[in-house]
Amino acid sequence: MKPFPAIYALLILLALAAGACSPANGAQAAPETSAYIENKGSDTIVNLALAWAERYQADHPEYRISVTGGGSGTGIAALLNGTVDVANASRQIKSEEIEQARSVGIEPVEFVIARDAIAIIVHPDNPVDQLTLQQLSDIYSGKITNWSEVGGEDRPIVKLSRETNSGTHVYFLENVLRLGDSENKTLFSMDTLLLPSSEGIINEVRQNPNAIGYDGLGYVPPDLKTIAVAAAPDAAYVQPGIATVNDGTYPIARDLYMYTAGEPDGAVKTYLDWIMGPEAQQIVAELGFVPVSTGQ
């Protein structure tokens, strides 16, 4: 028998290697990532943004969307220094942030992507069921320090708040402590405990019967108690919910935002268009927020 020529052996090996690298019959090669979107900011929005990213990437595997929290101020700062494509914020961008952006050639563009009720939460054993905005202002500014002053037991009030880089903190300061009055300079009491996340407030209220906190409604678990809030002593006390935000009766509600550096285009525009559409807005409702699109 003649020895098998080496050249034939080499050709067979090359053919086998090519077959191993090719997709199986009927299969398609995985698409290469063609779009990357960096999304950062509000901790209120982060779970919603993660749910959006997961759903969108499932249908569009060519996209990669990174979502992180850190607070509204952190997200807007990242947008201004060019390290993110989209900033999430649970408050409107401040005038000084707009000036800073324009000083480096950036024109922030705002998108209202959902609405939210800020729920006032207490331990389920707390007998207090309702508070006015003025009482909340007095509690958080330190004028009211004992639950007995608002119809509860003789216990000290432990005040919980988000940290100052949180858009929810800013909104609560301006619209609850200061009652929406731009001339009001009321501040949080010095003994208010500042916590870095919504989950931190939830966990502290869960284990402390004396605590009061505030959080986006979508974060409030069923084992905690939400307080009905009245805009004035002679007004109705209203529980937070999608219906009461939509009809304007719940007094602590706000828009949620995404910001881009200039008008978005390409992959970012396509993604934001999807966020404003029915599929993404249905996710808004599923997570306890309030959709903004017509018909939702």
The pLDDT tens digits of the residues spanning 75-86 come to 999 999 999 999
Q: Are residue 108 and residue 46 in the same domain, yes or no?
A: yes
pLDDT, mean over the chain: 89
The confidence score (pLDDT) of residue 162 equals 94
Amino acid at 211: A
In this structure, are 213 and 233 located in the same domain? Answer: yes
Cα distance between residue 128 and residue 133, in whole Å:
14
Does a structural domain hold residue 21?
Answer: no
pLDDT at 22: 42
Q: Are residues 128 and 233 in the same domain?
A: yes
Domain interval for residue 277:
35-115+255-286
Query: Is residue 169's pLDDT more than 50?
Result: yes
* Residues 102, 205 share a domain: no
Query: Between 173 and 29, whose confidence is greater?
Result: 173
Same domain, 246 and 262: no
140 and 262 fall within a common domain: no
Those residues whose C-beta lies under 8 Å from the C-beta of residue 32, and which sit 6 or more positions away, are 62
Residue count of the chain:
296
Q: What local confidence, expressed as pLDDT, does residue 33 receive?
A: 54
Distance of CA 266 to the CA centre of its chain: 24
Q: Is the pLDDT of residue 1 over 80?
A: no
In a domain, 12, yes or no: no
Residues 131 and 106 grouped into a single domain: no
- pLDDT of 241-274, one tens digit each? 989 998 999 999 999 999 999 999 999 999 999 9
CB–CB of 43/71 below 8 Å?
yes
The strand pairing partners of 259, in sequence order, are 87, 110
Give CA angle at 112 (80, 81), nearest 5°: 5
Q: Are residues 212 and 88 in the same domain?
A: no
Tokens of 12: 């067979």
Residue 211 is assigned to a structural domain of this protein = yes
Mean pLDDT of 266-286: 96
**Residue-level pLDDT at 146:** 98
Per the domain annotation, does 129 fall within a domain? yes
Three-class SS state of 83: coil
pLDDT at 92: 94
In the structure encoding, which two tokens stand for residue 104, read together? 């480096």
Mean pLDDT value across residues 205-229? 95
Q: Are residues 122 and 157 in the same domain?
A: yes
Residues 96 and 131 grouped into a single domain: no
Q: Are 263 and 246 in a shared domain?
A: no
Distance, CA of 293 to CA of 296 (rounded, Å): 6
Is 158 within 8 Å of 81 (Cβ atoms)? no
Averaged pLDDT for residues 106-112: 97
Instruction: Give the chain's domain count.
Output: 2
User: What pLDDT is stored for residue 14 in this prediction?
Assistant: 41
The answer as to whether 240 is a domain residue is yes
Distances (CA, A) of 238 to 129, 169, 180, 243, 249: 11, 21, 18, 11, 7
pTM, two decimal places: 0.79
126 and 94 part of one domain:
no
Identify the band that residue 34 occupies on the pLDDT scale cut at 50, 70 and 90.
confident
Q: If we measure between CA atoms, which residue out of 119, 29, 40 comes closest to residue 76?
A: 40
> Is 244 part of a structural domain of the chain?
yes
In a domain, 236, yes or no: yes
Residue 293 confidence (pLDDT):
64
Residue 62: CB partners within 8 Å, gap ≥ 6? Answer: 31, 32, 33, 34, 35
Q: Where are the alpha helices (DSSP H) in the chain?
A: 6-21, 43-59, 72-80, 95-103, 133-141, 167-172, 198-207, 242-246, 266-275, 278-286
Give me the CATH number covering residue 203: 3.40.190.10
Whether the per-residue pLDDT at 40 is higher than 80: the answer is: yes
Residue 104: inside a domain, yes or no? yes
229-239 per-position pLDDT tens digit: 999 999 999 99
Q: What pLDDT score does 13 carry?
A: 43
